């Protein structure tokens, strides 16, 4: 017996009881049904609940997220220990339930989590593990490990992970992936040997097709048909999957109800699916009692199930028995299986549990291939080969081809071909598999995005879509057609007030630094956060305290000088300060009224310090912060505001500011195709468009995404890929500009609310600011 | 029978005659020897001569060149029709000779040539084929096709071509490669079916190992040993190959002789090798009569050759008979075979014919694996498996592992694993093969560059080396440590004289354009050729003629005005011109002397126009160029020189100049690792180092290469990879700065020689300049 997955013990205990409960209760159908249904419902509900509570990021496949992370966008919450625990336990339960769910995506995620946690742990010891690009390399290798140990397919694992997660792949990471994946596959299969399940290391779903004449040349058209049909099927699957998600989202009434009872949806879906597969019920027409693994073994079987339509010649050994039905032929069973599993898988993969879609799709593909193979076998009982020996048709070979083609179509990968070779341990069908996979990819890619890209769109992850097949017109769109000309910039000699104004607008993470507004020569870019800290430093608590301390020292001096007036200069200064202080005592009330009754007043709060105007003296005296004890007399708002105004008019000192002196620059005439390449290659978020040193625009991921998705009008013609209209359905409203609200606005609002003289505790806001 | 290569007819006719000649003459050993030796000598000599005459670029593998081309460096002469013809015919002859030569590299080159010629042909019809990046995509796919149809291995072909030609691979090209390679492999194998060699499409070197128990877990250490030993062997092969090339180059005396008789070296080498393999002679100890293909089939054989050392049990059927020798055991034969073939292959691949090294290395690896396998079989006659059934050891499996490991070690690729699976049609040994290949790669990569990188260094192709295994310290080297601080630049308001001075120095293809020498703000970069044409336009023949024409018009006017002096203004101008002309007549001789006797004089030639100072009038009157007929009176050098001086003092007008407004910029603190990545990703030739807009340095491929090869001293410590000293041996003196001589100097010299008043034909130099 093969161990089906990496957690053999858990899986065995999770899957056997259902069978045992079901088998032991064969006297009573109702009890049988209850046993059959309760088990998956409980497991899925637990999995959904557990994941929901511990880490909602663990839901779903994980490959779309990894794709986004490897693209350079940091999604930190997806690589935490909590997510790891939730994913492992949630996945184990979900798989144990027997639902049509896969594990390759979660495995990729789990492996990446391991790698991320490992790098985090290693970075404690310093060295190269602190390096960002090193971590990305580790994650890329981890993805290969995930797929590799899922199918015991090191090569296929590496290739599949490259295809689904990378746009540009660094060949120097290649051996890392192979190294990691080989060892993961080795350990995975060695466990089977140590468990005495296997005598030695072999393939997971070993086939035993004949080597001397694996297939006839004249069978190739049939294989091609399998490929093309799988292409359409794959596109349909992705479409159906998205349709379900979008439908569930749109139904506000259902949604509201389900949001309250989050576990009801998974429970209902599980109940529905397990009811339909109940073996004495409808399940008898679709081999409901078999697990995924048994089903796949049956499909890859060497023997032909339908020999000239005679039920007597049917081979009953093994799991093939499940496919026999006294009333209906094997073809009908297969068709029912395919149709039922198709929508069930599409539905089940939308459940909020850790799950993938690869394995269910693989299974459906195998079923479809088997159907074609059985048909061929029935059509040509003595094989097609005309001269000499009779070589009967091997339907198992068709199943292999179909599995590779459909999974390739859904994921838009070619490496599923390699995976099936490693999975079956035979490479004899290489040409049919390759042809079918390529044809399936061609069809599916022209109709729909891949399943992972579809999920990326649904989840609105910050990812750049691929240039599709028909991207010829992408060579004609130029950067100048899509760039934003109204760039936010700061000049080298700007004052803090300009900084403040610029920070209030725009959404990009970095701002351009130009020489002057006239020359517009781009000098570099500065991160928004850097500017914010620059601004808050200028108006910081420390500087404020410094100012106050200076004042208080001067005050004391003045007091001592009043008793001993020695120098005129100090006397002069002291009198000025008195004037200030006097004014503060009178103006303080006035200021409050201004704030209270004239909210439209042009009034500049400090941005990051949480005590914009020391209110301490309007609060209770006992809550007065300790630093205020410095004051000989309490300070007033107007005074501080005046100080702030003065500070804001100072010129910005960029000396302590981290400036990126070489932000990426494009030219107006750069084609969209090249821009896309550069963005993908370097994982850029935005690039400035310059013309002989002068900043004239900026292109961010958003613009690029829009342009690629075909909503840019160039030269009066709406440029869209031929089949884009079909692709776009269900993904409208994906623009995420609203969600990218600037934090500055929030900050502004917060200050505004704070500055109102309510029952305000300064020490509390003090904590918040830290 | 399998057809061994893509040109089945040629090959069959090329290989059979030798055997036939040899077989038919078994009465006389001398005649046999002559027949055995003459045939390869003639073929190799013809191949070398033909290639030498038609296109010397066709010599060798072609993979290093393709790697360089795909890196972005245009080597146009490698993609011409002539090269195509030379490569195809030369390769056919070379392979037919029976020398230990491979064909995978040439196949890659031939396929790329097809793709390049096809794109060139298609670009006649316009459209996307005119796009540069499209052509690169086609070339990448072509490389996959080359390997794919060489081994009938579509997947391995794609992966191998990616590994040997790319640094960063665009995943969107992935399916293109698979598509092309699948069809090439399909057509290749279908030919075999149509030739009635095969019943259906199968693997090229089909093996028939048992599927149920391919190997025992306890055999894995033996496989690992094969891998490690192959790693050392691969490094040794690369080292030996380079040693031979370097040795041949260094021996000036031999070299001189061989340069005269270019075909002597190949003939001698061929004679030597074929003498040693002569079957009745030394060849009997190394199965000399077998072709590469037969040898490989024998190695992959299922049966054990040495069963407990008894020659009686030896299986004599097929090609295995060649391995039996009455006196010596099979082990000795294998050892002799490995040693002899090792140096023979290393030597033969240095021949100036189109040839690869993959197949010979593959063969040696298979022999080594077979040796280990036979030893294991002799050591454990009943297999290692302890309980239950006896599973004897399969030496053929070891041969497969050894072949993959050694070829992987020599080429630094992991995908040889996939190639052997596709080549043998069995994937059952996946884990041993993967482990051995990875270990072999680990060992070989730490000792030597790959064979292709080694050839790149020998040929001094403009390529960036890979970051090796131990590249941790690469994170600590910064751009500021390696950059050239003395950047050649031009300012926005420079005059043509500055342009001229700048063009005389430096070697980079582009020059930086800065705002001013004080601000040093980088505005863009201009190609050297653009500047040259700008300068030559300023001093162009047209402008010169314009000037002369104007002058002659003025002269005529003056003459007419002398008779009718109406305006004072024109009179004034005319008198000035007279003064010029008078001075020219007197100064002309003087100028010539200055040029002749004072070569150190600061004397500015026109750079691109080939008639710097119209000497026409010092030549024979009959050779006077037609434009000089404009002159009312002949012009003199000094006058023109004066005009030129004036022109050179004018400010440069950059309006019609193509400026790259966004050259790639780095920062001082960018790590070497990141710089390497960016250079490889974007295929850069150089990048400017800026600090807040200010140009402070430049890094070109040369500096980067130096830094990576470990000759940069940082922080007082010489940074070198651990085993670099071994790697460097034999590659000293690879710095190619001398070869990158500026064309400008040549131009300068040419002008100098032209400017001497010899028997000079202006119309000839006129042609040259166009």
Residue A121 has a pLDDT of 85
Q: Considering only the beta carbons, identify the residue of B167, B182, B217 that sits closest to A434.
A: B182
pLDDT per position as a tens digit, B20-72: 666 666 677 888 888 888 888 999 999 999 998 888 888 888 888 888 888 77
Name residue A659's beta-bridge partners. Answer: A526
The phi, psi pair for B284, rounded to 5°, reads: -65, -25
Residue A171 sits at the chain B interface (C-beta within 8 Å):
yes
Chain A positions in Cβ-Cβ contact with residue B159 (cut-off 8 Å): 159
Instruction: Supply the mean pLDDT for chain A.
Output: 72
* Closest alpha carbon to A363 in A341, A344, A347: A341
Instruction: Supply the mean pLDDT for chain B.
Output: 72
* Closest alpha carbon to A509 in A700, A712, A695: A700
Instruction: Report residue A88's pLDDT band, with 50, 70 and 90 as the boundaries.
Output: very high
Q: Which long-range contacts link A589-598 to residues 24+ away (Cβ below 8 Å)?
A: A590/A638, A591/A636, A591/A637, A591/A638, A591/A641, A592/A618, A592/A637, A592/A757, A595/A637, A595/A755, A595/A756, A595/A757, A596/A756, A596/A757
**pLDDT at A394 exceeding the cut of 80:** yes
| Candidates A70, A143, A175, partner chain B, best to mutate (most B CBs within 10 A) | A175
**pLDDT at A753 exceeding the cut of 60:** no
Q: Please count the other Cβ atoms lying within 10 Å of the Cβ belonging to residue A498.
A: 17
Residue A159 sits at the chain B interface (C-beta within 8 Å):
yes
Name residue B700's beta-bridge partners. Answer: B686
- Put simply, the answer to whether A417 touches B155 (Cβ < 8 Å) is yes
- Put simply, the answer to whether A203 touches B170 (Cβ < 8 Å) is no
Q: Considering only the beta carbons, identify the residue of B169, B428, B434 that sits closest to A171.
A: B169
Residue A715 has a pLDDT of 37
pTM: 0.73
* Closest alpha carbon to B335 in B302, B375, B308, B281: B375
CA dihedral A319, A322, A324, A327 (to 10 degrees): 170
Residue B753 has a pLDDT of 37
* Closest alpha carbon to B1 in B195, B187, B153, B291: B195
Residues B47 and B353: beta-carbon distance below 8 Å: yes
Q: Which residue has the higher pLDDT, A275 or B571?
A: A275
Instruction: Report residue A312's pLDDT band, with 50, 70 and 90 as the boundaries.
Output: very low
Residue A645 has a pLDDT of 79
Residue B54 sits at the chain A interface (C-beta within 8 Å):
no
Output the CA angle B152-B157-B163, nearest 5 degrees: 160
- Put simply, the answer to whether A169 touches B167 (Cβ < 8 Å) is no
Percent of chain A with pLDDT over 90: 12
**pLDDT at A179 exceeding the cut of 80:** yes
DSSP class of B589? H
SS3 A688: strand
Q: Which residue has the higher pLDDT, A624 or B166?
A: B166
Task: Kindly report the nearest CA distance between residue A134 and chain B, in angstroms.
Answer: 10
Task: Kindly report the nearest CA distance between residue B5 and chain A, in angstroms.
Answer: 18
Residue B337's Cβ-side half-sphere holds a number of Cα atoms within 13 Å equal to 34
Name residue B495's beta-bridge partners. Answer: B651
Residue A730 CA from chain centroid, whole number: 19
| Candidates B134, B661, B665, B708, partner chain A, best to mutate (most A CBs within 10 A) | B661
pLDDT per position as a tens digit, A38-63: 888 999 999 999 998 888 888 888 88
- Put simply, the answer to whether A693 touches B206 (Cβ < 8 Å) is no
Q: Is the ipTM of this complex over 0.85?
A: no
Q: Considering only the beta carbons, identify the residue of A168, A425, A691 that sits closest to B211.
A: A425
Residues of chain B with pLDDT under 50: 1-14, 308-316, 469, 567-634, 711-770
Residue B708 sits at the chain A interface (C-beta within 8 Å):
no
Whole-angstrom distance, CA of residue A522 vs CA of residue A692: 10
Give the per-residue SS3 of A692-746. CCEEEEEEEHHHHHHHHCCCCEECCEECCCCCHHHHHCCCCCCCCCCCCCCHHHH
Parallel, antiparallel or unpaired: strands B510-514 and B522-527: antiparallel
Residues B201 and B186: beta-carbon distance below 8 Å: yes
**pLDDT at A590 exceeding the cut of 50:** no
Q: What number of helices (H) and strands (E) belong to chain B? A: 29, 10
- Put simply, the answer to whether A217 touches B200 (Cβ < 8 Å) is yes
Residues A549 and A630: beta-carbon distance below 8 Å: yes
Residue A75's Cβ-side half-sphere holds a number of Cα atoms within 13 Å equal to 23
Chain A positions in Cβ-Cβ contact with residue B170 (cut-off 8 Å): 167-168, 677
Task: Kindly report the nearest CA distance between residue A598 and chain B, in angstroms.
Answer: 43
Residue B133 has a pLDDT of 67
Chain A positions in Cβ-Cβ contact with residue B175 (cut-off 8 Å): 414, 438, 441
Residues A654 and A492: beta-carbon distance below 8 Å: yes
Residue B230 has a pLDDT of 94
Residue A701 has a pLDDT of 80
Residue B430 sits at the chain A interface (C-beta within 8 Å):
yes
Whole-angstrom distance, CA of residue B576 vs CA of residue B740: 47
pLDDT per position as a tens digit, A406-452: 999 999 999 999 999 888 888 888 889 999 999 999 999 888 888 98
Min mean pLDDT across A357-361, A696-700, A734-738 is at A734-738
| R_g of chain A computed on alpha carbons | 34
Residue B186 has a pLDDT of 86
Task: Kindly report the nearest CA distance between residue B83 and chain A, in angstroms.
Answer: 29
């Amino acid at each position: 017996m093969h161990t089906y997955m990496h957690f053999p013990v858990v899986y065995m205990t999770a899957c056997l009881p259902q069978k045992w409960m079901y088998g032991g209760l064969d006297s009573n159908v109702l009890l049988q049904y209850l046993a059959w249904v309760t088990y998956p419902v409980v497991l899925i509900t637990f999995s959904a609940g557990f994941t929901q509570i511990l880490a909602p990021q663990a839901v779903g496949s994980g490959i779309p997220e990894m794709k986004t992370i490897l693209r350079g966008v940091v999604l930190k919450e997806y690589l935490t220990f909590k997510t790891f625990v939730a994913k492992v336990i949630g996945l184990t339960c979900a798989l144990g339930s027997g639902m049509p769910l896969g594990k390759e995506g979660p495995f990729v995620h789990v492996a990446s989590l391991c790698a991320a946690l490992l790098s985090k742990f290693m970075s404690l010891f310093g060295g190269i593990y602190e390096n960002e690009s090193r971590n990305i390399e580790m994650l890329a290798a981890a993805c290969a490990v995930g797929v590799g140990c899922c199918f015991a397919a090191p090569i296929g694992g590496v290739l599949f992970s490259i295809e689904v997660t990378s746009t540009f792949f660094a060949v120097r990471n290649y051996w890392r992936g192979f190294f990691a994946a080989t060892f993961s596959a080795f350990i995975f299969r060695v466990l089977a040997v140590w468990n005495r399940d296997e005598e030695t290391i072999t393939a997971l779903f070993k086939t035993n097709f004949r080597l001397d004449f694996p297939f006839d040349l004249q069978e190739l058209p049939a294989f091609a048909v399998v490929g093309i049909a799988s292409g359409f099927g794959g596109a349909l699957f992705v479409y159906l999957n998205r349709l379900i998600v979008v439908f569930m989202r749109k139904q506000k009434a259902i949604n509201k109800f389900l949001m309250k009872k989050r576990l009801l949806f998974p429970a209902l879906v599980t109940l529905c699916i397990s009811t339909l597969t109940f073996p004495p019920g409808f399940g008898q027409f679709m081999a409901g009692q078999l697990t995924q693994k048994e089903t796949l073994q049956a499909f890859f079987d060497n023997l032909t199930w339908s020999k000239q339509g005679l039920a007597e010649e049917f081979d009953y050994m093994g799991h093939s028995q499940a496919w026999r039905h006294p009333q209906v032929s094997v073809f009908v069973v297969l068709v029912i299986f395919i149709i039922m599993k198709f929508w069930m898988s599409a539905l089940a993969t939308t459940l909020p549990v850790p799950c993938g879609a690869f394995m269910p799709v693989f299974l459906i593909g195998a079923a479809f291939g088997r159907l074609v193979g059985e048909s061929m076998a029935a059509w040509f009982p003595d094989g097609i080969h005309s001269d000499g020996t009779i070589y009967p048709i091997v339907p198992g070979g068709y199943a292999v081809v179909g599995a590779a083609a459909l999974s390739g179509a859904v994921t838009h990968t070619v490496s599923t071909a390699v995976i099936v070779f490693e999975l079956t341990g035979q490479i004899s069908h290489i040409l049919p598999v390759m042809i079918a996979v390529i044809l399936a990819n061609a069809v599916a890619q022209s109709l729909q995005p891949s399943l992972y890209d579809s999920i990326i769109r649904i989840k609105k992850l910050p990812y750049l879509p691929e240039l599709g097949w028909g991207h010829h017109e992408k060579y004609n769109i130029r950067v100048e057609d899509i760039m934003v000309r109204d760039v936010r910039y700061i000049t080298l000699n700007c004052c803090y007030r300009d900084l403040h104004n610029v920070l209030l607008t725009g959404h990009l993470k970095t701002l351009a630094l130009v020489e002057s507004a006239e020359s517009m020569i781009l000098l570099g870019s500065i991160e928004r956060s850097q500017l914010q800290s620059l601004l808050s430093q200028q108006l910081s608590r420390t500087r404020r305290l410094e100012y106050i301390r200076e004042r208080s020292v001067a005050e004391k001096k003045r007091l001592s000088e009043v008793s001993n007036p020695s120098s005129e200069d100090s006397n002069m200064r002291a009198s000025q300060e008195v004037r200030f202080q006097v004014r503060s005592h009178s103006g303080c009330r006035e200021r409050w009224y201004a704030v209270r009754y004239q909210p439209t007043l042009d009034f500049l709060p400090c941005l990051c310090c949480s005590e914009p105007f020391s209110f301490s003296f309007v609060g209770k005296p006992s809550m007065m912060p300790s630093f205020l004890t410095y004051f000989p007399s309490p300070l007033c708002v107007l005074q501080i505001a005046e100080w702030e105004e003065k500070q804001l008019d100072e010129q910005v000192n960029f000396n302590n500011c981290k400036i990126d002196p070489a932000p990426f620059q494009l030219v107006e005439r750069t084609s969209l195709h090249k821009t896309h390449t550069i963005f993908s290659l370097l994982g850029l978020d935005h690039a400035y468009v310059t013309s002989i040193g002068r900043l004239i625009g900026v292109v961010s991921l958003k613009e690029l995404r829009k342009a690629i998705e075909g909503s840019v009008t160039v030269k009066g013609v709406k440029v869209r890929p031929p089949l884009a209209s079909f692709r776009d359905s269900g993904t409208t409203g994906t623009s995420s500009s609203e969600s990218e609200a600037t934090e500055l606005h929030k900050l502004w609002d917060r200050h505004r609310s704070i500055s109102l003289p309510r029952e305000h505790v300064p020490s509390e806001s003090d904590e918040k600011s830290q």
